[in-house]
Amino acid sequence: MNDLQEIDFAAPASAERLDRTITALRANGFTAELLDDAAAARARIGELIPAGSGVFTGASETLRLAGIAGDIETGDRYRAIRPQVLTMDRATESDEIRRLVAVPDVFVAGTAAVTETGSVVIASATGSQLPAAAGGAARTIWVVGAQKVVPDLSTALRRVEEHALPLESARARDAYGRPSAVNRLLILNAEPQPGRNTVLLLREAIGY
Spatial separation of the C-alpha atoms in residues 137 and 55, rounded to whole Å: 9
Pairing type for strands 149-150 and 139-144 reads unpaired
CA distance between the termini of the chain: 25
Q: What's the pLDDT band for 79 if we cut at 50, 70, 90?
A: very high
pLDDT on residue 176:
84
Per-residue pLDDT at 27 exceeds 80: yes
Find out whether 22 and 34 touch, Cβ atoms under 8 Å: yes
Note the pLDDT of residue 24. Answer: 98
Phi and psi torsions of 174, nearest 5°: -65, -40
pLDDT above 90: percentage of residues in the chain: 90
User: What was the pLDDT predicted at 171?
Assistant: 87
Residue 2, pLDDT above cutoff 50: no
pLDDT per residue as tens digits for the range 131-177:
999 999 999 999 999 999 999 999 999 999 999 999 999 988 988 88
Secondary-structure percent of the chain, ordered helix, strand, coil, rounded to 5: 45, 20, 35
- Assigned CATH class of 8-202: alpha beta
Write phi, then psi, for 157 (nearest 5 degrees): -70, -35
In the chain, where the domains are located: 8-202
DSSP 3-state of 29: coil
Exposure b/e, 172-191, CB count within 10 A at least 16 = b: beeeeeeebebeeebebeeb
pLDDT digit string (tens) for 29-78?
999 999 999 999 999 999 999 999 999 999 899 999 999 999 999 989 99
